[in-house]
Amino acid sequence: MEAHAGAKKPELSELSRIRDRVSFLYLDHAKINRQDSAIVVTDSRGIVSIPSAMISVLMLGPGVDVTHRAMELIGDSGMSIVWVGERGVRQYAHGRALTHSSTLLEAQAKLVSNVRARVAVARKMYQMRFPDENVSALSMQELRGKEGVRVRKIYRELSRRTKVPWTGRQYNPEDFDSGSAINKALTAAHAALYGLSYSVIVALGASPGLGFVHTGHDLAFVYDFADLYKAEVTIPIAFKVVAKYGENADDISQKTRLAVRDAFVDGRLLIRMVADLKTLLGDSEPNSKTDIVNLWDDKLGLQKFGVSYREFERADQS
């Protein structure tokens, strides 16, 4: 078989941990290729090489051409890839990130499949948003109502503080430009947060579709997880950007996306998200191994993988 040119596929131990990576990179109207262990981006402004293992999620907008070799490198290095609409405000498809462990996925499936456990996780997520209050006895309906009041209060307060007019959250996915500046900014900020949340979830081996509050969508858990950070990160940034550049600023979504990116890095949000996700799903092992495969047995429990069990079967039959 003909050998491939370029660097070999990296070992798991060689890859950067998800929490140590740059949060995300948005590209449009560019050509993406590969040179050794870097993706090479070419557009009208020139050429730049980006180490693939240092990016958490790559958002591909309109006009992007990506080669098969580049996609091979992206998959090997564990970078999440999301195909989005113009300005990064809609998600059309995503590529699976590198993961070798099903520990969090199994824990997530157990928790979401049991009503009491599911409610407990939902309460834990709401408790993160209400650290000074005890929500352990509240029903899901009460929690949703409490969250709704909190978010409306945040919108009003930020509007008063930044002098940005606020008449409610309005977004038409078929006509992005019909929205007000603040609604455009909020949409762009949340889209970036969804991309980062998705990247953390799949990189750690959990499922983006098994939500505890949201349900019925392949990104239900992404929406759950992102909601933990909107009030603190993306909503304030959207108001600040509109206040800074004005209601009629050109490309308010790009300005918002760049501000969100800087906040992700400066606030070390990735480190926090990794810890939060493990806390929610009950993973207490800080450095759990990720390259272990076992065989499941209904009577004996986990059995070693890679062992020939034929002799044991013969012994049982005799």
Q: Which long-range contacts (CB under 8 A, 24 or more apart) does 20-23 make?
A: 20/270, 21/53, 21/54, 21/55, 21/56, 21/270, 22/54, 22/55, 22/56, 22/265, 23/56, 23/57, 23/196, 23/261, 23/264, 23/265, 23/269, 23/270
Task: Give 278-313 pLDDT, tens digit per residue.
Answer: 999 987 554 444 444 555 665 665 555 555 555 545
Query: Is the model's pLDDT at 8 over the cut of 50?
Result: no
The count of domains in the chain is: 2
Q: Are residues 180 and 246 in the same domain?
A: yes
Residue 269 lies in a domain: yes
CATH of the domain at 69: 3.100.10.20
**114 and 185 assigned to the same domain:** yes
Band (pLDDT 50/70/90 cuts) for residue 21 is low
Is pLDDT above 50 for 10?
Answer: no
Q: Look up the domain containing 73 and give its range.
A: 12-95
- Assess whether 61 and 138 both reside in one domain: no
Both 80 and 120 in one domain: the answer is: no
In a domain, 195, yes or no: yes
Residue 290 included in any domain: no
Alpha-carbon dihedral angle through residues 296, 298, 304, 309, given to the nearest 10 degrees: -110
- Residue at which a domain ends, from 53, 74, 95: 95
Q: Which of 65, 95, 125 is the last residue of a domain?
A: 95
Claim to verify: residue 120 and residue 68 sit in the same structural domain: no
State the binding site: 147, 214, 227
Confidence of residue 132 (pLDDT cuts 50, 70, 90): confident
* Residue 1 domain-assigned (yes or no): no
Mean pLDDT of the 150-160 span: 95
Q: Assess whether 190 and 226 both reside in one domain.
A: yes
- Annotation: binding site for Mn(2+): 147, 214, 227
pLDDT (tens digit per residue) in 22-38: 567 888 899 999 988 88
User: In the chain, how many H helices and how many E strands?
Assistant: 10, 10
Same domain for 132 and 79:
no
State whether 168 and 249 are in the same domain. yes
- Give me the mean pLDDT over the 3-18 stretch: 44
Query: pLDDT (tens digit, 9 = 90+) per residue, 113-131?
Result: 999 999 999 999 999 998 8
Residue 119: Cβ within 10 Å count = 16
Strands 55-60 and 22-27: parallel
Which CATH number characterizes residue 128's domain?
Answer: 1.20.120.920
Looking at 76, 95, 114, which one is the last position of a domain?
Answer: 95
Q: What is the pLDDT of residue 7?
A: 41
pLDDT confidence tier of residue 13, bands split at 50, 70 and 90: very low
Q: Are residues 154 and 274 in the same domain?
A: yes
pLDDT of residue 284: 55
Same domain, 112 and 229: yes
The pLDDT of residue 303 is 58
Residues 84 and 159 in one domain: no
Does the residue 4 lie in any domain?
A: no
Residue bearing the bigger pLDDT, 231 or 174: 231
Residue 211 sits in the same domain as residue 68: no
- pLDDT tens digits along 201-260: 887 889 999 999 999 998 899 999 999 999 999 999 999 999 999 888 888 988 998 899
Answer yes or no: is 265 within a domain: yes
CA of 192: how far to CAs of 57, 82, 294, in Å? 10, 11, 36
Main-chain phi, psi angles of 290, to 5 degrees:
-120, 5
